A and B are shown apart, each in its own frame.
Chain A
Amino acid sequence: QKEVEQNSGPLSVPEGAIASLNCTYSDRGSQSFFWYRQYSGKSPELIMSIYSNGDKEDGRFTAQLNKASQYVSLLIRDSQPSDSATYLCAVKKNTGNQFYFGTGTSLTVIP
């Protein structure tokens, strides 16, 4: 079983729409969850972190965490062509130093 799973996509949404990205994780003891954006050929860039159940909003981005379902999501409102990238879900377990990454979801925002 993979530590972190994401749909690889590609996910296409029209400009201005809401993009919804999902992630599940296997270790129920995981405590910290992160969304990174990665443009082709570039390094991952932190978008949001979330630690508690519920929603966390930052500008056009909302992260949602449901620990009971072991599920994390990222909503991007008013999607822009510049949001076109691969979105990586990362999970930090309760033990060890490692951050586990999903394979990423490729998002394309169509003008």
Chain B
Amino acid sequence: EPEVTQTPSHQVTQMGQEVILRCVPISNHLYFYWYRQILGQKVEFLVSFYNNEISEKSEIFDDQFSVERPDGSNFTLKIRSTKLEDSAMYFCASSVDSTGYNSPLHFGNGTRLTVT
């Protein structure tokens, strides 16, 4: 069964450094998402991406965050200057379309980001 793949599985970085989290969504999916989950807390929406542009973003997704689809398969999340509070599990997800009908989110295994 096709799956969403994310790399790396764990990233440790120092405060103020830039990190790039990478994802390969399922090939026939059109909508791509980044969610994050701080330890012990809920899964929080960051951004959705369709047709090579951001379609929706949350208040968390401020100017420090950016997303890109640099080629036909990869989807990346960049955090420009990491803060301690960015430490979380970051999940990439994709769906076939945006209606929701028969189009659930499929999640990758996540990247655990630790900012020291």
Contact = CB atoms under 8 A, between A and B. Distances in A.
Quick one: which of A88, A101, A102 has the most chain B CB within 10 A?
Answer: A101
Contacts of B87: none
Contacts of B58: 98
Given A42-B109, A43-B109, A43-B110, A98 B56 contact: yes
A85 to B, nearest CB: 14
A46 B104 contact: yes
A70 interface: no
Interface residues of B, number: 27
A46 B3 CA distance: 12
Interface residues of A, number: 22
Given A42-B109, A43-B107, A88-B43, A97 B101 contact: no
Nearest to B91: A43
A16 B42 CA distance: 29
B42 A101 contact: yes
B100 A102 contact: no
B65 interface: no
